[in-house]
A and B are shown apart, each in its own frame.
Chain A
Amino acid sequence: MSAAPLGATPVDAEFTTSRPIARDVARHASAVGAQVAAGAGNLVFAIVAVRLLPGGAYAHLAVFVAAYLLVNTPAASLTAGASMRPDLTTRLVPLTLRLGVLIAAVLAVAAPLLGNQLNVPASLVLLLAVDAVAAGPLAVLRGSLFGRHRMSGALLGIVSEPAVRCAVGLALIGPLGAVGAATGVVCGGYAALALCALYSHRAGLLSFGRVWHDVRHQPWRPRSPGERAELGQAILRPMPTVIAFLLFAVVTAEDVIIANRVLDPTVAGVFAAVSTLGGAVLFATATIPLIVLAPSRRTQLESSEQPLLTRRKATLTALAVTAGTSLLASGVVLSLPTSVLHVALGERTAAVRAVLPTYLAAMAVLCVARVVLAWLCSHGRGAAAAYSTGAAVLVQIVLLLHAQTASAAATATLVAGAATLIFYVGQALLVLRTLTTPNNLATSNNLATPSRPAASAESPSGSLPRATVPADVSTDPPETFAPEAAGPKHSTAERLPLLTRMRRIRMRRPQDLRWVIGCAVLGLAIRIATDRSVWIDEAISVHEASQPYGTMLQLLRDTDVHPPLYFTLLWGVIHLTGSTTEAIVRLPSLVAGVLLVVVAYYAAREFWDRRSARYAAVIMAVGPAAVWYAQDARMYALFMLFTTLAAWMVVRVLRHGRWRDVGVFALACGLMLWTQYDTLLVVLTLLAALGGAAGYRWWRDHRNRALLWRSLAASGAIVLMTLPLLPLVLHQYQHTAGVASVPSQAGQAADTASQGVNIYSALAGGTWALFGYHSDHVMLLINAFWPVLLLLVLGSLGRGRSVPVRVLALMALVPPAVLFALAQSRSDLFDLRYFSATVPALNLMLARMVASWPKGWFTRRAVPAVTAIALVAGLVDEQANSSNPRVYDFRSAVAYVRAHSEHGDLLLYGPQFLQPELEYYQPGMASAPIGPVGDTTAHPHVFLLGSFLNEKATSAAVGTTLYKLQHSRHEVAKVNFPNVTIWEFE
């Protein structure tokens, strides 16, 4: 039987209603109902399996299920493709059957090896091989049923699978353990295949005889060129969708597999349980994207002129149903009484419950993302979505490989899910903007209507309609935007409130978005690829933010010297996730660091041109200082983000004088001041720039007061925003007398060639801002290259005057110059942390220089290359060189103590302010600050942890304690970690 054109496909009469939204809701509701039923079945299966299987065996089953998903997910991706192109069913079923056999054979041969690698019995791999045969045909048949709106058949297949799984699996779990449960899983798949195939056969959609004939006789490679082309089209057209869904499935499934490898078995078992519960949420909405993907049924029934409207409403409906279902399912799982969970999870209940919120949030995000993905694929954006998803996969892998706890693994999935959703939404906005351009509306209406002759090209045989290529989507729109009022007011897009809003978002050309996304992903990957121990300031932040909110504020008032904005964010993150892992506490900085890349791109784009913007984004993504502070659980990344935003707005105000820019500028400045008090210098500098320009304009023309009013308004707004801080500032000053509770200059002295603040300190400041932190030796070598600055000064000759460069130069130079002057009396004030605005300012100016100074063919390539090499070298040295004086490896030091200690041992530490650090890493033994060493004979071992030894007072105190211990005990070992030393005595 040959495939019939879609227009001639018989469709179900079910859900026929005159109200499309009601019809969509009914369809999604039925799908969700089936999924929930299936999910419930899976949940029962999982809970019983968890209960019946020991931790390790259940972990094996979880790995099998994840691998099962990995095998079935490409197949499920085929479901997505088949849902878009149900006409290809007859061709795809034999093909996937053959491929399945091939994969099964490979799996069977590799079973021992894979079993060893995955840490599971080989028999489970063999079961996986058996399943692989059925996975492809089942996926195609399901997609076909969804694509032809045969909901009853599709849903039957969905519900039957867990039913059989439970029946067979739970029956076999007793005698066979994990293998028995896995057998049930495989049987469920075959049962679903049988039902789908029977339904299709009876509905006239599939001929068993034809399939069997094709499997046996159809050549792998068609003989005639026409057939080959036809097959190629059939496979290649939905391929981006298949790959995108495949990668998406990897995001959803890889966490449990990697976690099983990197976590210890107990923790892996906890995460497997969490994954199972969370997977239920994901599973509940698994079908909805398929409905979104399916060609509009209405377009099969009638020649509608407005399918776009229908599809978008359908998509919005799908999104709403998905979000609601996800939240509902999450709520149900979270509200399960502990006793119920305990029945299912046993001793792991508490651990699971701690991680569950994070993971459920990740699943909810992924559910919504999957619908957007389906929408993107149905609009020809499968390839872009695949790239984005691939990036998210990489991000997740990197995070998972660094995970040490179940919470960290869950966070990795949450970050990957959020990244995925952001990427998809960005792409969707782009598509919407393109589609809602008046000239594109007519074409976009046809995107999902392959039957429309105007939009689809018939194959040579005339029987196989080719997929419609959204030409207007795949080509770049014009650089400038059509005026908002350009389209007719009664156009479809104008009637849609959401789309109207979308149109007002000033999206740039697709190249802009690709660069921004690419650089943001690059920046994200770099920032999470490496990590370092939480150092003392971070530990203090975590300690304060871990308290109840009121207590935290009180701590800030009494013991700290910072405003509360960053701590409030950190407090929210910690209490939302219930975790204080390094990845979690650094999340606000990470987000700010990645946003800085985006803001830098658009600021540079507006300041200068696209070339400069691209360099700006790349430089900001790899800039060592920007990377460093995006990995720091402190407020400096936010500092950089807000200062960049404020500088951008100043330039806009100077250029255009728009009140909204004045408002954003004032807001950014206010946020800055609520983030860190040192930003006052930046705020004053920017206000001076604004006021200076306003005064100059007024001086030249007394009637020109517009900028003057704007400057005054901005100043007033900033003052109003910061007034509430005044009591806090006064209180903090009285309690701390302007001195932080810890030495804020840690590591600074070692960065400069000589002690104190001198001209090399200024050079070191510039080096830090551009090339990051390095060891003394490297800093000396870098500073020796100062003659290059002479060349840069010369190079600036005749470059013309530019408002952005002036603003950035002021922002880069004035705060450090003021601090440099102040540092003559108190040297610790001259530290990059306190003039962090210099980092984005210098990076932006560097980008401009790289983009605009070279003119010749060679220099236009050589200068960016040399710059990139220098920055990457700086980044690598900063991150990898353990001699970096800013690295304080408390994590390794405490791990050493933990590994070598026994019950009753004592840990002495100096200086005293290390207490939050030890509180964070929890050595698991009694600890006390150094001081008069009392009787330590009760402790078998005594460990002395010393840090900040470059400070005289600390060094003396630690030395005294060391001397006493050396005279009362035997020194077993002395171990050096970066800026931390451990002495072990017995």
Chain B
Amino acid sequence: MRMSTTEKFDLLRDQLVEGDDGAELDPRLADPAWGEAPLGYPRLGRVRLLLAANIVAGVWYFSWLLRPDRVGYPVLYGILLVAELFNLAQAVGFWVSISRQRRRPDAPAFDPTTRVDVFIPRYDEPAEIVAPVLRAARAMRGADVIVHLLDDGDDEEMLRLATSLGVSYISRTRHNGAKAGNINHALTVTTAPYVVVFDCDHVPHPDFLLRTLGLLVADDKMALVQTPQHYANSLENEVAAASWAQQALFFGCIARGKDTLGAMFCCGTNVVLRRTALGDGFPEDSLTEDFSLSIRLHEDGWRTAYVPEVLAQGLGPEDLGSYLGQQLRWARGCLSGLSDALSSRLPLRIKAQYVLSSMYFLTGWTVLIYMALPVMRIVTGHQPLATTNADQFLLHFAPYYALCLGSVAIAGGGKYTFRAFTLSAATYWVHVTATLLTLARRRGRFAVTPKTSAGERQPLAAWPTLVTVALLLGVMAYGLSKSRDASMFNNVAFAGVHACILLVGISAAFHRPAARDRFEFQE
């Protein structure tokens, strides 16, 4: 019998919070949102209706755009076309993903003596972050759980913490392979047939195993069961909130769609794995070891599953610097995995999903292109579309644009926000940087995303965005000084809209994050 959210939370808090003397409650415990609600669930009928309209609008727009007489300045037209076709491909992939949303039945029951090793890799996170995770992991029900703290930081305090909480402490002498190496080392010293991985800031729910492990036990070809990464601090921090809104779209309709297509991949945390499927363990030569592992597993014929319920509460990036670091790591990892995805021996439906997920991190280029076009028009007078009226462009583009956004809003259950969009757009240069670094085959370093904010304004963290905004504003001023006709106003408005989006996106860099008292670790 399922417990209500309130009951679950009360139970968890009773187990985790003892003798609270007024210290601020950990957000992962203070106001958790368990289950499916944080992800939102769209009404499929509406989604499919919208998709049909999207297809019509897409055909309407591209049949207009692709006509030869639309070509203005050929180079710019070509660039615009590339950007539009890239976005169309992403959109089509999104539509395919969200057109079917699997709702898995409850995981089947399994033997409660099933042994499970719970890995909590840690690098430099403080004890107050790790302790609740260890406690909650110990409290998971339904299986014979052994919790291992995989300390790559060789911290004595962690040893004391693990000892005091009665969990296993594993460290290693060679710290190679970052997180993947840490887990691989742990795999060599543990024996349980199932492995759960939690990042050291993700507090699991007591029912985590009851909701997931049964899928692995019941299906011998099931390699892993993934659950969402929820940011518990999204209610108190704007960067975390925007990050979570981005995550919610992925772990909501997109992940459910991938699961329906059998293409869900490992996201590195909140995941249950079958030890035998891991084989040689996690790839250590990738920044996104989970992504590469998933491709390998699918190539080897393993299946993956996704349980769309928040079963672990983590901490999202709390400042722009942390967010940028996280995004750069993900972008570099996924882009480096693009070649693997393209060369993989996978069914098309699965391969396409991997390719689409990898290529998402190229969207920054399209943002750059869209920003560059009005700038080019203002400065040089060249524009991609010529021999056409602006009203014709508006007539064909507006429905496509509005319906695309509508599908994101509806399919995402209203969880995807303006701030999430602007944060993504304002950090377009991360994608550009990641692409260039990947093309240059520069080896990246695995960097742990900070779990708390730096507590200060970080305007310089977004300096490329600031430079872009300055450029846009300068070009706008130049344009207005040059001409004040309707055409110039239109391009100035475009540039202004971009500048506005960028400024809103990085506005968090100008705010000092609200000081949050450190929640206390009680030994």
Contact = CB atoms under 8 A, between A and B. Distances in A.
A967 to B, nearest CB: 42
Interface size class of A (residues with CB under 8 A): 20 to 34
Nearest to A758: B391
B409 A794 contact: no
A264 to B, nearest CB: 46
B511 interface: yes
Interface in B404-446: 405, 408-409, 414-422
Contacts of B484: 781
B487 interface: yes
Contact of A798 (B392, B395, B409, B486): B409
B493 A794 contact: no
A224 interface: no
B494 interface: yes
Given A791-B500, A798-B416, A798-B418, A784 B394 contact: no
B416 A785 contact: no
A724 interface: no
B490 A784 contact: yes
A486 interface: no
Interface in A284-336: none
A797 B408 contact: yes
Interface string A741-780: 0000000000001100011100100000000000000001
A216 interface: no
A980 to B, nearest CB: 28
Contacts of B330: none
A790 B489 contact: no
Interface centre among A754, A763, A798, A801 (most CB of B within 10 A): A798
B392 to A, nearest CB: 8
Contact of A788 (B390, B398, B405, B497): B497
Given A798-B417, A856-B507, A784 B487 contact: yes
B497 A787 contact: yes
A786 interface: yes
A795 interface: yes
A610 B484 CA distance: 40
Contacts of B486: 753, 780-781, 783-784
Interface in A775-820: 780-781, 783-791, 793-801
Given A791-B500, A791-B501, A798-B245, A785 B493 contact: yes
B402 interface: yes
Contacts of A785: 489-490, 493
A797 B497 contact: no
B490 A759 contact: no
Contacts of B416: 797-798
Contacts of A758: 391, 395
Given A781-B489, A787-B493, A856-B507, A797 B401 contact: no
Interface string B483-523: 01011011001101100110000010001000000000000
A800 B245 CA distance: 13
Interface residues of B, number: 34
Contact of A793 (B394, B395, B401, B420): B401
B489 A784 contact: yes
A801 B401 CA distance: 20
Contact of B501 (A760, A784, A794, A796): A794
Interface string B13-56: 00000000000000000000000000000000000000000000
B418 A797 contact: yes
A791 B486 CA distance: 19
A766 to B, nearest CB: 12
A799 B402 CA distance: 15
Given A759-B395, A798-B420, A793 B497 contact: no
A783 B486 CA distance: 8
A799 B398 CA distance: 20
Contacts of B245: 798
A790 B422 CA distance: 13
Interface string B245-267: 10000000000000000000000
A790 B497 contact: yes
Contacts of B501: 791, 794
Given A784-B493, A787-B494, A795 B418 contact: yes
A786 B395 contact: no
Contacts of A786: 394, 490, 493
Nearest to A785: B493
B377 to A, nearest CB: 12
Contacts of B497: 787-788, 790-791
Nearest to B238: A855
Nearest to A779: B486
A397 B400 CA distance: 54
Nearest to B507: A856
B414 A801 contact: yes
Given A783-B486, A786-B394, A786-B490, A794 B417 contact: no
B405 A794 contact: yes
Interface centre among A753, A791, A856 (most CB of B within 10 A): A791
Contact of B414 (A788, A794, A800, A856): A800
B453 to A, nearest CB: 17
B511 A856 contact: yes
Interface string A336-348: 0000000000000
Contacts of B394: 759, 763, 786
Nearest to A786: B394
B391 A759 contact: yes
B458 to A, nearest CB: 16
Nearest to B487: A784
A787 B414 CA distance: 23
Nearest to A789: B398
Contacts of A790: 401, 497
Given A784-B487, A798-B245, A798-B418, A793 B507 contact: no
Nearest to A854: B504
A797 B487 CA distance: 28
Contacts of A793: 401-402, 405
Contacts of A794: 405, 418, 421-422, 501
B405 A787 contact: no
A758 B415 CA distance: 35
Contacts of A789: 398
Contacts of A763: 394
Contacts of B402: 793
A787 B419 CA distance: 19
A597 to B, nearest CB: 30
Nearest to B495: A787
Contacts of A753: 391, 486
B421 A797 contact: yes
Contacts of A754: 391
Interface in B464-493: 484, 486-487, 489-490, 493
Interface centre among A753, A754, A789, A794 (most CB of B within 10 A): A794
Nearest to B406: A793
A760 B391 contact: yes
B278 to A, nearest CB: 38
A796 B490 CA distance: 22
Interface centre among B408, B422, B489 (most CB of A within 10 A): B489
A697 B175 CA distance: 61
A673 B147 CA distance: 73
Given A759-B391, A759-B395, A787 B490 contact: yes
B111 to A, nearest CB: 41
Interface centre among B409, B417, B493, B500 (most CB of A within 10 A): B493
Q: Ordered nearest first, which 10 A-B pairs have the shortest CB separation? A: A798-B417, A784-B489, A784-B486, A784-B490, A787-B493, A759-B395, A780-B486, A785-B493, A759-B391, A787-B494
Given A784-B493, A785-B489, 20 more contacts: A760-B391, A763-B394, A780-B486, A781-B489, A784-B486, A784-B487, A784-B490, A790-B497, A791-B500, A794-B405, A794-B501, A795-B418, A796-B409, A797-B409, A798-B414, A798-B415, A798-B416, A798-B418, A798-B419, A856-B511
6 contacts: A788-B496, A795-B418, A797-B417, A797-B418, A798-B409, A799-B414
